[in-house]
Amino acid sequence: MTIRTDLPHAISVEDDVGIPLPDGIRLSARLWLPTDALAHPVPAVLEYIPYRKRDGTLPRDEMMHAYVAGHGYACIRVDMRGNGDSQGLMDDEYSEQELRDAEAVIAWLAVQPWCSGNVGMMGKSWGGFNCLQTAFRQPPALKAVVSVCSTTDRFADDIHFKGGCLLGENFGWGAVMLAFSSRPADPLLRNDWKGDWLQRLEAQPWLTPRWAAHQAKDAYWKHGSVGEDWARNIVPAMIWGGWADNYMNTVAALVEHSPAPTKGVVGPWVHQYPHTAVPGPKVGFLQMAIRWWDRWLKGIQNGAEADPVYRAYILHSEPPNASARQRAGHWVEEGAWPSQRVTTEVLHLASVGAEVSRPRTPVGYLGREEAEAFSRSLSTPQHLGLEAGEFFPMGLNAEMPGDQAGDDAMSLCFDGDVLAADLQLLGAAELRLRLSSDKPLGFMVARLCDVGPDGASVRIAHGMLNLCHRDSCEAPVQMVPGQVVDLAFALDQTGYRLAAGHRLRLALSNSYWPFVWPSPEAGVLTVTSGSLTLPVHRGADAAEWVPPPVEHAKPWAHRVIRPGQARRRVERDLITGIQTLIVEDDQGDSENLDHGLVSGESLTERWEIHPDDPLSARAVHVWEQRLSRGAWGVRTCASAEMTATATHLRMSAKLEAWEGERLVFERQWHDEVEREFV
């Protein structure tokens, strides 16, 4: 890693550039600008998110935007309407208003005297989403995007639903946004901060019930899903993803379907920018982004359009580690996707006696020969899934999947033979099953695992299907109890090499807590046949690409006032039988030495369930946000709870705000959503 202070261009930084919107709202932006840009205008690169440029993303902004600006770009980090130091009110994620505002910002940037007229857009997660969504709308000045950890399908591949299954993170993310958007503007930038803050608090949306109510892929989810019309994706795009993140499917989808020049990179990373993410190896993301901008915003003929379509890091077999700092592996390059180097191999599910399985691991076999029909019942304990990890892990606090052996022991497993040679995969496996259900609502989760000689199990990929969505995600239909159906679904994309001497395992369950909210009844699925199609990669087993080393600008100037600490544990109540995943993440408090703002936040999550009772599921999250400077200080607390009955999902929340020691705002929400398909 190299901290660069000798950048090609000297830059200046403005902390509060006002961008007027057509309806009179002023957005606040931070601008990094080459000092000679008025004499020699440069392209603009926009990052547009709700996560607060003044404190929230400032540490990463300092390293990233200053570096890019120092290479001849105007980098502008805009707080979205109703967040940070911007005016207005927040309504929802990826709303029509949000995207219209993005178009207005791009048009404003293009006519500034320091801008050449060409604009790029970049972002991770929310910013990665909305740069793809804005490009889909084709504003004239937007010439290229760089998107990290994003999606093309808001229903199938976001934090709300997956395979039609309601994700636990749908609740968690609602609590996050209630907390994040509750903070006021900085009084140094906004004299009207308090009145604006109280108005912002009063208008805060509690979004979890809204999201949970849309249990099919309807117009709500299609809005902002760029895969709804691939032909509109004509803006050149560089797409990044990580195998430890749950947005890994976007890269393959875009490089396959987008008509624009599109390049994809997937590494071993969690939900972070690739020059800072774990597990390593990290890569020189900023140099690669600048090369992309140079080609499409400056017109430099550097060959970026001729780069391989898809670069992927092939993970190698290693013991499970939920806090891995580094993953062994190698990079491969594909000139086209789908790749001719990927062939399919079909393994059939067969029933065999428990005596040939590993101890405590039932009862099936994965083989190349088509098997006779069998009958195996599946009804897994409700607490299965406690080693699944986070939907989007952010770091090293045991947020990635752990050893799957315990969950495997509770699942219906099908094991392959001990491998005589390495098996390399790149792409998405597909599972086909014939089964019946004794309940109208239910789901199936499939985990593909690498089982070592010692029995440790590493999750390679997972996939899931709400059985109501077996024929259509737009028009789901409940199951008819006892009726046999054929279904198929894809597991997530993966790049993985199993070592000789290991086994490939398919583990099936109809519970996955807290990753998936449980069905209203503990149903029994009866599986009678199935097959697994693997994407076998015949490429080199050594590195085909050496990424550039990590470079960035100097980190932010700050003082740690109180260090943070994190804990993650599972508790089992010996009296009630309740099993609870507890997450405590106190990020401490730090002072920005440039402008004196002290910021900090703390989180507690509890995910409770009884192994025999899906209706015992309960999630409780509490977020505290803190801001202060001298005698001024504010604090907000967002607490949320989710439970369910057999017929309804119940979601409540409370938002409190203090100025100093005085409570200045309090509001509660209580909502119920009918369980039509979940």
d(CA 179, CA 640): 10
Looking at 590-664, list the stretches that DSSP marks H as alpha helix, in order from N- to C-terminal side: none
Same structural domain, 405 and 280:
no
**662 contacts: CB under 8 Å, gap ≥ 6:** none
Q: Select from 481, 506, 537 the last residue of a domain.
A: 537
Count the residues in the chain.
678
Give the pLDDT confidence score for residue 352 in this predicted structure: 75
Judged by DSSP in three states, 408 sits in helix
Residue 53 belongs to some domain of the structure: yes
Q: What are phi and psi of 291, to 5 degrees?
A: -60, -40
Same structural domain, 126 and 266:
yes
Read off the tokens for 628.
């202060």
Residue 178 belongs to some domain of the structure: no
Residue 433 belongs to some domain of the structure: yes
Same structural domain, 524 and 627:
no
Q: Which residues of 167-198 are buried (b: 16+ CB within 10 A; e: fewer)?
A: bbbbbbbbbbbbbbbbbbbbbbebeebeebbe
Count of domains forming the chain: 3
pLDDT digit string (tens) for 36-45?
999 999 999 9
Same structural domain, 268 and 396:
no
Same structural domain, 430 and 490:
yes
Same structural domain, 666 and 648:
yes
Residue 224 belongs to some domain of the structure: no
- Closest listed residue to residue 607, CA positions, set 38, 172, 148, 100: 172
Q: Give me the CATH number covering residue 87.
A: 3.40.50.1820
pLDDT digit string (tens) for 626-678?
999 999 999 999 999 999 999 999 999 999 999 999 999 999 999 999 999 99
pLDDT digit string (tens) for 419-461?
999 999 999 999 999 999 999 999 999 999 999 999 999 999 9
Give the pLDDT confidence score for residue 357 in this predicted structure: 34
Residue 138 belongs to some domain of the structure: yes
Range of the domain at 128: 7-153+235-334
CA separation, residue 335 to residues 262, 263, 307, 311 (Å):
12, 10, 8, 9
Q: What are phi and psi of 118, to 5 degrees?
A: -100, 135
d(CA 164, CA 117): 42
Same structural domain, 329 and 346:
no
Same structural domain, 356 and 468:
yes
Same structural domain, 439 and 586:
no
Give the pLDDT confidence score for residue 356 in this predicted structure: 34
- Closest listed residue to residue 56, CA positions, set 22, 74, 79, 25: 79
Contact 535, 409 (CB under 8 A): no
d(CA 606, CA 2): 40
Same structural domain, 410 and 482:
yes
Q: Select from 334, 359, 388 the last residue of a domain.
A: 334
Q: What's the pTM value of the predicted model, to 2 decimals?
A: 0.96
Q: Select from 334, 356, 381 the last residue of a domain.
A: 334
Residue 633 belongs to some domain of the structure: yes
d(CA 226, CA 230): 7
Residue 214 belongs to some domain of the structure: no
Residue 228 belongs to some domain of the structure: no
- Closest listed residue to residue 71, CA positions, set 105, 120, 32, 17: 32
Beta bridge partners of 464: 445
d(CA 163, CA 500): 32
Give the pLDDT confidence score for residue 359 in this predicted structure: 40
Q: Which stretches of the chain score pLDDT less than 70?
A: 353-363
Q: What are phi and psi of 463, to 5 degrees?
A: -155, 165
Same structural domain, 490 and 408:
yes
Q: Give me the CATH number covering residue 480.
A: 2.60.120.260
pLDDT digit string (tens) for 305-326?
999 999 999 999 999 999 999 9
Same structural domain, 47 and 128:
yes
Strands (E) in 138-212, as ranges, are: 142-148, 161-162, 165-166
Judged by DSSP in three states, 406 sits in helix
DSSP result, 66-81 = HHHHTTT-EEEEEEPT
